[in-house]
């Protein structure tokens, strides 16, 4: 299921998405004494999704700090620490709880550099388990990439593979600005080849993970895998879908998307967040405003989440976000000129 | 048997004559700076709004008395006094208020976000309570990196009912961080009296909930504030953790420029004006022979000149380039 071809020559090992993130954090803790991990139950418990695992045993409670259940305060402490010389990686137990910390993320972290005229920086990383599919229902399953993607000053990434997860977290750490890393919960157990050592997957660059000529499917996180599954089935019918893994929501890689649409003439945006005012609207508008508009052979299609909170019932939950067969169906219609 | 020393106010015993004169100069500078800002606002040189701390000068200056540039402060929407107390230059402050490129924030922040990172001022904050967790983070940095600097967190009586206050105090206490929470209780959060909005009588009582010392002092008495901070700073530097100090004071002006002052009486305001912290401190310095009346006048005159020069500097300064509207959003663009 791994979409990325690992870098040749570099030693790789198979590991899960969660393990890859943990390895990135271990490397960072080893390399830079200013790095600290903060979050609820990330110490002995190992994190709600076992992402920090045994890091507390290796680096001690001063570097792997359990915070009280205080999302606003904890995020703010991370912001203040980043402002004064530490490099905190703050884990939210679920991205949903970032709603409690909006003040510190959106009003403080994102704006401080600007409000202070470039005289300070906030190199904080917020890690957020995101997305639906675990039966956790409405308050533990949301996809907030569009919320945070709307805020100047923030960078927002959504890695889709173990290799990307490690590389993007290390890129986020090297970035002098606040970065939000959305980790899809359903991907934590996914395995893939991960390069050894320190490397970065650039923020702001999308990847063409499957080349094709008939239509472009833009997706991120878990949706990349669903789009690839759909594309594999469509290929048997002779429909060649090009699949783009967005990787970064903000700043968006305009060039890669525009170039692909100019090649294929058809665009399908697939995203887990609620359809209205979401990532699909942004990507559609990007194409509508660009030279790629003249190359379109069909109306742009958006496949986003239902206009509802994520429901508990498993069938409803599946129905609330795009699944592989949905992508396949809409892509087929689009390729055949049926929309 | 009374030690005569005991009758001498703390500040007089603790600080050198030069330090005391400098403190008086800063208090005048704050008052005159804010009067100058008010006048500039009336003349249309400053847009937006402004929150003046006239009447609260002792709280700002006495709180910062023992700080160095390595020590940090976080401030509030009413932050001009804190900024000057920490050592900022009034010319660059005026320039910021006038929206000029030479301002501390290159015209991007204005009054409500005034900061001077080089003197350890991490910034005023437009969000009530916004600076509280940030101050705790700064103190965490000091502890983690083994520095012995402390962080002072200024906030108002209104802010003590925000969740951020409680979360920040708790974390500072469990991790024993070198941070001092300084509540400037000027009696009102906009129009809402602290006596109405806060369940405890003194805000410093809330320290008990976070197992830290709480002190309520007369915020218009320079020595009382300096004494409380002396203790709290010593405790923080010794690694014994945070403290909460409540300075009881009063703002003479309205909440901001839009205030029609319907929630308090003239009598109340006049009563507080008669407790002017600057006059009180000046008289104290004269009474203890640190200064004579002439010397006091010279200090005030020097502050007046600094304010006039500051306004001139700001007026003559260039505006930011319009094409730079997105400059400073991210690091790459700041180059
Ligand atoms: C979170 C938030 N709520 C409300 C406001 C509007 N507001 C600005 S200042 C203020 C009063 C704050 O009172 P206090 O903390 O006592 O400070 P003071 O103005 O008395 O110095 C209010 C309500 C705000 N800026 N931020």
Count of domains for chain B:
1
- Mutate which of B75, B190, B196 to test ligand 1's pocket (most atoms within 8 Å of Cβ)? B190
> Which atom of ligand 1 lies nearest, measured to the CA of B160?
15
Partners of residue A153 in chain B, C-beta under 8 Å: 329-330
Give the number of other CB atoms < 10 A from CB of residue B218.
18
**Predicted confidence band of residue B4 (pLDDT cuts 50, 70, 90):** low
DSSP per-residue letters across B215-263? EEEETT-HHHHHHHHHHHHHHHHTT---EEEEEE---SS-SSTT----S
Give pLDDT, residue A7: 56
- Mean pLDDT value across residues A276-302: 98
Give pLDDT, residue A49: 96
Establish if B319 belongs to a structural domain: no
How close B260 gets to chain A, by Cα (Å)?
Answer: 28
Establish if B173 belongs to a structural domain: yes
Establish if B7 belongs to a structural domain: no
| Number of residues in chain B | 335
**Predicted confidence band of residue A116 (pLDDT cuts 50, 70, 90):** very high
pLDDT in tens, A138-167: 999 999 999 999 999 999 999 999 999 999
Give pLDDT, residue B47: 86
Among B73, B59, B68, B71, CA closest to B26: B59
Among B234, B201, B229, CA closest to B217: B229
Is the distance from the beta carbon of residue B259 to the nearest atom of ligand 1 less than 6 Å? no
pLDDT in tens, B114-125: 999 999 999 999
Give pLDDT, residue A177: 97
Q: How far is the CA of B128 from the centre of ligand 1 (A)?
A: 5
Q: Does B291 touch chain A (CB under 8 A)?
A: no
Two structure tokens written together for B211:
């197992």
Establish if B2 belongs to a structural domain: no
pLDDT in tens, A213-223: 999 999 999 99
Question: Is the separation of the CB atoms in A269 and A301 below 8 Å?
Answer: yes
Cα-based distances in Å from B168 to A76, B124, B173, B176, B180: 8, 17, 9, 12, 11
Distance in angstroms (rounded) separating the CA atoms of residues A247 and B256: 45
Is the distance from the beta carbon of residue B209 to the nearest atom of ligand 1 less than 6 Å? no
Q: What are the phi and psi torsion angles at A157 (to 5°)?
A: -125, 155
Q: Is the peptide bond preceding residue A251 cis, with omega within 30 degrees of 0?
A: yes
Residue position matching structure tokens 């989440």? A305
Q: How far is the CA of B63 from the centre of ligand 1 (A)?
A: 21
Q: How far is the CA of B49 from the centre of ligand 1 (A)?
A: 13
> Which atom of ligand 1 lies nearest, measured to the CA of B190?
11
- Mean pLDDT value across residues B10-32: 98
Burial class (CB in 10 A: 0-12, 13-18, 19+), A110: buried
- Averaged confidence pLDDT in chain B: 96
Q: Does A69 touch chain B (CB under 8 A)?
A: no
- Averaged confidence pLDDT in chain A: 96
How would you write A62-104 as a 3-class SS string?
A: CCEEECCCCHHHHHHHHHHHHHCCCEEEEECCCHHHHHHHHHH
- Interface confidence, given as ipTM, is 0.90
Establish if B107 belongs to a structural domain: yes
**B299: domain range?**
18-311
Q: Which residue of B has its CA nearest to A176?
A: B331
Distance in angstroms (rounded) separating the CA atoms of residues B106 and B123: 14
**Predicted confidence band of residue B334 (pLDDT cuts 50, 70, 90):** very low
Give the number of other CB atoms < 10 A from CB of residue A103.
19
> Which atom of ligand 1 lies nearest, measured to the CA of B51?
19
- Mean pLDDT value across residues B250-277: 95
- Mutate which of B77, B78, B252, B263 to test ligand 1's pocket (most atoms within 8 Å of Cβ)? B77
Q: Does B17 touch chain A (CB under 8 A)?
A: no
Question: What is the set of active-site residues of A?
Answer: 71, 140
Question: Which residue lies with its CA nearest to atom 21 of ligand 1?
Answer: B156
pLDDT in tens, B39-95: 999 999 998 999 999 999 999 999 999 999 999 999 999 999 999 999 999 999 999
Look up the pTM and report it.
Answer: 0.94
Give pLDDT, residue A8: 60
The CATH code of the domain that includes B190 is: 3.40.50.970
Q: Is A117–B104 a contact, with Cβ atoms under 8 angstroms apart?
A: yes
Establish if B305 belongs to a structural domain: yes
Give pLDDT, residue B5: 66
Give the H/E segment covering residue A297: none
- Mean pLDDT value across residues A3-19: 79
Question: Which residue lies with its CA nearest to atom 19 of ligand 1?
Answer: B189
pLDDT in tens, B302-328: 999 999 999 999 999 999 999 999 999
pLDDT in tens, A255-281: 999 999 999 999 999 999 999 999 999
Give the H/E segment covering residue B135: helix B131-144
> Which atom of ligand 1 lies nearest, measured to the CA of B129?
1
Question: Is the separation of the CB atoms in B27 and B56 below 8 Å?
Answer: no
Catalogue the E-assigned strands of chain B. 72-74, 151-156, 179-185, 188-189, 192-193, 214-218, 243-248
- Mutate which of B158, B250, B272 to test ligand 1's pocket (most atoms within 8 Å of Cβ)? B158
Q: Does A86 touch chain B (CB under 8 A)?
A: yes
pLDDT in tens, B166-220: 999 999 999 999 999 999 999 999 999 999 999 999 999 999 999 999 999 999 9
Q: Is A74–B117 a contact, with Cβ atoms under 8 angstroms apart?
A: no
Question: Which residue lies with its CA nearest to atom 25 of ligand 1?
Answer: B127
Give the number of other CB atoms < 10 A from CB of residue B324.
13
Question: Which residue lies with its CA nearest to atom 4 of ligand 1?
Answer: B128
pLDDT in tens, A303-318: 999 999 999 999 999 9
Establish if B3 belongs to a structural domain: no
Cα-based distances in Å from B58 to B7, B26, B216, B280: 20, 10, 15, 10
Establish if B221 belongs to a structural domain: yes
Longest dimension (CA), chain A: 59
Q: Does B123 touch chain A (CB under 8 A)?
A: yes
Most confident of A227-241, B40-54, B250-264: A227-241
Give pLDDT, residue B257: 85
């Amino acid at each position: 299921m791994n979409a990325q071809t690992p870098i040749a020559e570099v030693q790789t090992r198979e590991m899960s998405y969660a393990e890859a993130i943990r390895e990135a954090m271990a490397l960072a803790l080893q390399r830079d004494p200013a790095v600290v991990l903060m979050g609820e139950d990330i110490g002995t418990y190992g994190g709600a999704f076992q992402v920090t695992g045994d890091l507390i045993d290796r680096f001690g409670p001063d570097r792997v700090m359990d915070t009280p259940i205080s999302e606003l305060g904890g995020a703010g402490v991370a912001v203040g620490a980043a402002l004064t010389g530490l490099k905190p990686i703050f884990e939210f137990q679920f991205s949903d709880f970032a709603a409690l910390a909006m003040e510190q993320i959106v009003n403080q972290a994102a704006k401080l550099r600007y409000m202070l005229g470039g005289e300070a920086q906030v190199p904080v990383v917020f890690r957020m388990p995101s997305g639906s599919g675990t039966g956790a229902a409405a308050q533990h399953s949301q996809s907030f990439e569009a919320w945070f993607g709307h805020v100047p000053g923030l960078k927002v990434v959504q890695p889709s593979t173990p290799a990307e997860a490690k590389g993007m977290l290390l890129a986020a750490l090297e970035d002098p600005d606040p970065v939000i890393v959305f980790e899809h919960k359903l991907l934590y157990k996914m395995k893939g080849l991960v390069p050894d050592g320190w490397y970065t997957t650039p923020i702001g660059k999308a990847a063409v993970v499957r080349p094709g000529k008939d239509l472009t499917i833009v997706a991120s996180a878990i949706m990349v895998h669903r789009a690839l599954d759909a594309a594999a089935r469509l290929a048997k019918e002779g429909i060649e879908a090009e699949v783009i893994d967005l990787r970064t929501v903000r700043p968006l890689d305009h060039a890669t998307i525009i170039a692909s649409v100019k090649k294929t003439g058809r665009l399908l945006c697939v995203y887990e967040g609620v359809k209205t005012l979401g990532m699909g609207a942004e990507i559609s508008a990007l194409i509508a405003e660009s030279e790629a508009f003249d190359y379109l052979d069909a109306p742009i299609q958006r496949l986003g989440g239902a206009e509802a909170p994520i429901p508990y019932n498993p069938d409803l939950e599946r129905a609330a976000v795009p699944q592989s067969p949905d992508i396949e169906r809409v892509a087929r219609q689009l390729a055949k000129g049926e929309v | 048997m009374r030690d005569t020393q005991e009758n001498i106010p703390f500040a007089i015993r603790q600080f050198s004559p030069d330090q005391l004169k400098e403190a008086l100069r800063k208090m005048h500078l704050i008052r005159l700076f804010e009067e100058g800002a008010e006048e500039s606002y009336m003349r249309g040189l400053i847009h937006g709004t402004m929150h003046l701390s006239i009447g609260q000068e002792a709280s700002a200056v006495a709180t910062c008395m023992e700080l160095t540039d390595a020590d940090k402060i976080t401030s509030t929407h009413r932050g001009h006094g804190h900024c000057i107390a920490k050592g900022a230059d009034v010319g660059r402050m005026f320039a910021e208020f006038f929206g000029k490129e030479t301002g501390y924030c290159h015209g991007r922040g204005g009054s409500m976000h005034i900061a001077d990172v080089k003197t350890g001022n991490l910034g005023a904050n437009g969000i009530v309570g916004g600076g509280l967790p940030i101050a705790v983070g700064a103190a965490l940095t000091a502890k983690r990196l083994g520095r012995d600097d402390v962080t002072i967190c200024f906030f108002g009586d209104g802010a003590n009912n925000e969740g951020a206050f409680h979360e920040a105090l708790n974390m500072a206490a469990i991790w024993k961080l070198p941070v001092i929470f300084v509540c400037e209780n000027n009696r009102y959060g906009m129009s809402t009296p602290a006596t109405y909005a806060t369940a405890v009588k003194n805000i410093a009582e809330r320290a008990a909930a976070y197992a830290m010392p709480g002190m309520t002092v007369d915020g218009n008495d320079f020595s009382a504030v300096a004494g409380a901070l002396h203790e709290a700073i010593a405790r923080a530097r010794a690694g014994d953790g945070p403290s909460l100090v409540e300075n009881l004071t009063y703002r003479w002006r309205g909440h901001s420029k839009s205030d029609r002052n319907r929630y308090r009486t003239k009598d109340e305001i006049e009563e507080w004006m008669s407790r002017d912290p600057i006059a009180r401190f000046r008289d104290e310095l004269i009474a203890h022979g640190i200064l004579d009346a002439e010397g006091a006048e010279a200090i005030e005159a020097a502050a007046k000149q600094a304010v006039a020069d500051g306004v001139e500097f700001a007026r003559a300064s260039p505006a930011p380039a319009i094409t730079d509207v997105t400059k400073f959003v991210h690091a790459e663009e700041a180059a």
